[in-house]
Amino acid sequence: MIDWLLEPFQHPFNQRAVIAALLIGLTNGYASAFVVLRKSALKVGSLSHALLPGIALAILVAGLHDWSVFLGSLFAALLIGLGSLAVSRGSRLDQDSALAILYTAAFSGGIILLRRLGVAQAMEAWLFGNIMGLHNSDLWTNFWISFAALGILTALHRPLLMTLFDSEVATSLGVPVRALNYLLLAVLIMVLISSLQAVGCMLALGLLVTPAATIYLLTDSTNALFWGGSLLGGFASAIAVLAGWWLNIEQGPAIVLMLGLLFLIAFLFGPKYGLLRRFTVGRKSC
């Protein structure tokens, strides 16, 4: 039994996977609080899909490297994010519709292109992640992205919080609301990219929404939302990677599924805002 539990720690690729899951989960969990408070999950989801055509283009232009994938996906997400803004400003279409058109078109192009490039990595790895295939250099890339993202978000915590709570009052007090919104979006894209190899661009969104959404159902404290989301994201992801090994299921989906199950538990049994609680309180007051 003990041997079976400890087995995953004997393989270097497994150790790397657990460390990566912790790192990515922590960063995504922290950043997810911003996504939830900003109510922009859909937008971030669109941008996560926009990463794929960026990767395809980067491989086409510069070949497959860490940095080309990073830069390509960053470029594509920014291009589609800003492009949707330009389309909505320049026409009568709203930004969500513009974003949907752009990212689905780009995503389709990305799939067609990737299939024809003949890269060794399977399409599935880009879509759903391959956390077992991480190298040490990938870990370092993840570490630096996490470090930068967490650094920026914590350094700007006060103005960001004000902007999210009421952007008008923040503006009236001299907070550069618009610039902060763009910066936040850029950081969220960076965080998405950091989880790309682990869970792929289809599932990255789950990691960047669910942790804080779960804590959102449990707490009224802003700090608890950020740090709780962070801890939940980190540990749930690490445990999911191990569970994936023990139960022989794919690690990327295991992470997102684990987070989803934890959310379900909070949704049903949350002591304050859970469905069960609401149900019993509602009956009492009748």
Q: What angle do CA 14, 250, 203 make, to 5 degrees?
A: 105
By C-beta, is 101 or 162 nearer to other proteins?
162
Residues 87/102, Cβ–Cβ less than 8 Å: yes
Q: Is residue 156 a contact point for other proteins (CB under 8 A)?
A: yes
Closest contact distance (angstroms) between CB of 159 and other proteins is 6
Closest contact distance (angstroms) between CB of 175 and other proteins is 8
By C-beta, is 37 or 58 nearer to other proteins?
37
Of the candidate residues 126, 216, 245, 263, the single one contacting other proteins (CB under 8 A) = 216
Give 277: exposed, middle or buried? Use CB within 10 Å, 0-12, 13-18, 19+: middle
Residues 161-180 that bind other proteins (CB under 8 A): 161-162, 164-166, 168-169, 171-174
Closest contact distance (angstroms) between CB of 44 and other proteins is 18
Region near other proteins per CB under 8 A, out of 104-112, 134-142, 217-225, 262-270: 217-225
CA-CA distance, 45 to 202, in Å (whole number)? 8
Of the candidate residues 159, 181, 182, 274, the single one contacting other proteins (CB under 8 A) = 159
Using CB under 8 A as the criterion, what x/- string covers residues 83-122 for binding other proteins?
----------------------------------------
The neighbour count for residue 128, using CB atoms within 10 Å, is: 20
Residues 182/169, Cβ–Cβ less than 8 Å: no
Of the candidate residues 222, 231, 239, 257, the single one contacting other proteins (CB under 8 A) = 222
CA-CA distance, 181 to 194, in Å (whole number)? 20
Closest contact distance (angstroms) between CB of 163 and other proteins is 11
CA-CA distance, 102 to 97, in Å (whole number)? 9
Closest contact distance (angstroms) between CB of 98 and other proteins is 19
The neighbour count for residue 169, using CB atoms within 10 Å, is: 12
Q: What is the CA radius of gyration of the chain?
A: 20
DSSP annotation of 92 reads S
Q: Which residues bind other proteins (CB under 8 A)?
A: 37, 155-156, 158-159, 161-162, 164-166, 168-169, 171-174, 216, 219-222, 224-225
